[in-house]
Amino acid sequence: MILRFANHIAEIDISGIRKSFEAAGADTINLGLGQPDFETPDHVKEAAIEAIREGFTGYTMNLGTAELRAAISEKFRQDNELEYSPGEIMVTSGASEALFLAIAAVVENGDEVLIGDPSFVSYSALTRITGGRPVSVPLDPDLKISPEDVAERITERTRALIVNSPNNPTGSVQTAEELRALADLADDHDFALVSDEVYEHMIYEGEHISPARYSDNVITVNAVSKTYSMTGWRLGYVAAHETALQNMLKIHQFTQASASSISQRAAQAAITGPQDCVTYMREVFKMRRDSLVKGLRDMGVELVRPDGAFYVFPYVGDGDAAASRLMNAGVVTVPGSAFGAHGARHIRISYAAAIEKIEEALERMKDIL
Ligand SMILES: Cc1ncc(COP(=O)(O)O)c(C=O)c1O
């Protein structure tokens, strides 16, 4: 018997990022990574161990524990000037699940989702999984999504716009004015602005602004994954006004039930505990960014200085060719085409790697870039 698969799923490509990892050899320097290269802080690990010892190992409320949602609510107030009550917050399995819930709650067959091109690989794939159609919004010369470019692409079928600042893969940070203009478009045209803020604490110039300050149509997605170096704990959250949250809850209830009880305890310790680990990571990332940007510029490589996240997205002419030549020279990067057709002239270089590795990688890059 031959299984038949749904066409709209079969047509989705396996992530280009995974493909580049699988090709890596032993002496290669991996600058393809999308996760911080730090340990999860000890006090966070301890909270998880304590949860296990205590037997806190069952399902939790679908929305997540009351304690964690209260902590997230307070975090929104302090960090983002947002008033989300615990009833407007749901804990998810990473930002990945939160993004899926946000898109699945608003998209029906053939509906359109506006997505920056290039952008994080999940956005267009999740749109297709839910039967929607990704509509690409080419980034402007500063590698940002511009409200004018978004406005031109709004149609009757537009259900969502995804904004990601600081940005993966470009490292760009949108200004308050840009975010307000994007939020106004969501209000004027009744679509959801899904704001993916997982890199909010990795900003080296400028400040992080949550667009939910400007509109009730915003669905805010975040996670402890990048902020506290907890990608493997699979712990994220989504916040939105109550009707939107209830609709997302229906999907979460039947696909996930609840996020891991142990990871929820760990996340609570991370969010309510000392924040010097975050400051430390930010300082180290900034130092590495400066070295990488300088090293690339000294070679004559063209790039827009990334103000956030932990990626540089230089212009290299032909990204696929450059990434493959770098791979042969023992440096893993990700071709920009993995993030959308408009990324094809770039590569993404992650600086979630020790400074010595970055310096060695720069040496190896010299002959190639
Ligand atoms: C922009 C962006 N959003 C979401 C995610 C997924 O985060 P999580 O590990 O919390 O699912 C990533 C991971 O690389 C990302 O870069």
Residue 264 lies in a domain: yes
Residue 6 lies in a domain: no
One domain for residues 223 and 290: no
pLDDT at 200 over 70: yes
pLDDT at 22 over 80: no
| Cα(96) to centroid(ligand 1), Å | 6
Judge if the beta carbon of residue 222 lies within 6 A of ligand 1: no
Q: pLDDT higher for 293 or 23?
A: 293
Distance in angstroms (rounded) separating the CA atoms of residues 162 and 291: 31
- % of residues, the chain, pLDDT over 70: 97
| Cα(190) to centroid(ligand 1), Å | 26
End residue of a domain, out of 240, 272, 304: 272
pLDDT in tens, 240-271: 999 999 999 999 999 999 999 999 999 999 99
Q: Which two tokens stand for residue 131?
A: 């039967």
| Cα(35) to centroid(ligand 1), Å | 9
pLDDT at 291 over 70: yes
Judge if the beta carbon of residue 224 lies within 6 A of ligand 1: no
End residue of a domain, out of 239, 272, 305: 272
Residue 4 lies in a domain: no
Judge if the beta carbon of residue 227 lies within 6 A of ligand 1: no
CA of 120, closest atom in ligand 1: 1
Average pLDDT over residues 263-283: 98
pLDDT in tens, 100-115: 999 999 999 999 999 9
Neighbours of 242 (CB within 10 A): 11
One domain for residues 264 and 360: no
Residue 156 lies in a domain: yes
pLDDT at 20 over 70: no
Instruction: Return the pLDDT at 11.
Output: 85
User: Which of 20, 93, 165, 168 to mutate for ligand 1's pocket (most ligand atoms within 8 Å of CB)?
Assistant: 168
Residue 212 lies in a domain: yes
List CB contacts of 102: < 8 A, sequence separation 6 or more.
Answer: 160, 192, 194, 219, 221, 238, 240, 248
One domain for residues 187 and 300: no
| Cα(2) to centroid(ligand 1), Å | 35
One domain for residues 216 and 325: no
One domain for residues 225 and 125: yes
Residue 2 lies in a domain: no
317-323 long-range contacts (CB < 8 A, ≥24 apart) are 317/345, 318/344, 318/345, 319/343, 319/344, 319/345, 319/346, 319/347, 320/344, 322/347, 322/368, 322/369, 323/20, 323/347
Residue 171 lies in a domain: yes
- % of residues, the chain, pLDDT over 90: 92
One domain for residues 206 and 161: yes
Stated as kind and residue range, the H or E segment containing 347 is strand 347-350
pLDDT at 16 over 70: no
Instruction: Return the pLDDT at 133.
Output: 97
One domain for residues 213 and 199: yes
Instruction: Return the pLDDT at 24.
Output: 64
Q: In this structure, what DSSP letter does residue 257 have?
A: S
pLDDT in tens, 116-143: 999 999 999 999 999 999 999 999 999 9
Tokens 């680990």 correspond to what residue?
277
Instruction: Return the pLDDT at 7.
Output: 86
CATH number of the structural domain spanning residue 340: 3.90.1150.10
pLDDT at 175 over 90: yes
Judge if the beta carbon of residue 202 lies within 6 A of ligand 1: no
End residue of a domain, out of 204, 237, 272: 272
Average pLDDT over residues 299-312: 98
One domain for residues 94 and 228: yes
**Strand stretches in 118-213, DSSP E:** 133-138, 158-164, 192-196
One domain for residues 26 and 125: no
Overall domain count for the chain: 2
| Cα(34) to centroid(ligand 1), Å | 8
**Partners of 92 in the β-ladder:** 236
Instruction: Return the pLDDT at 195.
Output: 98
CATH number of the structural domain spanning residue 163: 3.40.640.10
Instruction: Return the pLDDT at 275.
Output: 98
Is the pTM value of this prediction over 0.95? yes
- Nearest C-alpha neighbor of 224 from the set 262, 156, 270: 270
Instruction: Return the pLDDT at 105.
Output: 98
CA of 97, closest atom in ligand 1: 11
Q: What is the mean pLDDT of the chain?
A: 96
- Print the domain residue range for 314: 13-34+276-366
One domain for residues 121 and 247: yes
- Angle in degrees, CA 74, 76, 82, rounded to 5: 115
Judge if the beta carbon of residue 261 lies within 6 A of ligand 1: no
One domain for residues 129 and 24: no
Residue 5 lies in a domain: no
One domain for residues 178 and 288: no
Contact present, 224 and 79 (Cβ < 8 Å): no
